Amino acid sequence: MRHYDFSPLYRSTVGFDRLFSMLDSSNSDTPSYPPYNIERTGENAYRITMAVAGFADKDLNVEAKEHTLTIKGEKAEDSESDREVLYRGIASRAFERRFQLAEYVRVDGAQLENGLLHIDLVRELPEAMKPRKIEIGTGSAKQIETKPH
């Protein structure tokens, strides 16, 4: 029996609470840079927090198109050539991370704070799709007229 690792589905989809229909994304070769969290902040609200230390807001691009959220980071080269870096432990390489968004999930905003990029997402169901309560009346049931054939 073959074992499939579905953890990449949980890491790259937002708004799919029970349905992970992206089986083609289930490979374990997903990049790990930059690290990020996905959290639920309310009944229909989510937040992606990505560690982007060393990147300024001008180095980052957040784009939502159709059902895909793309976050790109590209740091401008340091103009200080007189510095000699002896050890580089802070990664500043370019990256591109994509997240598949469920239907009716939209990006509500993005903030860069203390080296963390926060992207807030909201799921907004159309009125026709929201559950509605049906009142139960009392009294006699309506008679259905039947016509002879």
Q: What is the pLDDT along the chain (149 residues), one digit of tens a residue?
A: 455 555 555 555 665 544 444 433 433 455 678 999 999 998 889 999 999 988 999 999 999 998 899 999 998 766 556 778 788 777 778 999 999 988 888 899 999 999 999 999 998 877 777 777 888 888 766 666 666 66
Q: Which amino acid is at 44?
A: N
Q: Name the residue among 52, 53, 54 with its Cα closest to residue 62.
A: 52
Would you call 127 helix, strand, or coil by DSSP? helix
Cα-only R_g, the chain: 24
Is 146 part of a structural domain of the chain?
A: no
Question: What is the CB-side half-sphere exposure of residue 23 using CA atoms within 13 A?
Answer: 1
Q: CA 143 → CA 1, 48, 112, 128, distances in Å? A: 58, 55, 64, 29
Question: The domain spanning residue 49 has which CATH number?
Answer: 2.60.40.790
Is 139 part of a structural domain of the chain?
A: no
What is the sign, positive or negative, of the torsion defined by CA atoms of 86, 87, 90, 92?
A: positive
Is 134 part of a structural domain of the chain?
A: no
Q: Which amino acid is at 35?
A: P
- Total domains in the chain come to 1
Give the residue numbers spanning the domain of 64. Answer: 7-126
Is 85 part of a structural domain of the chain?
A: yes
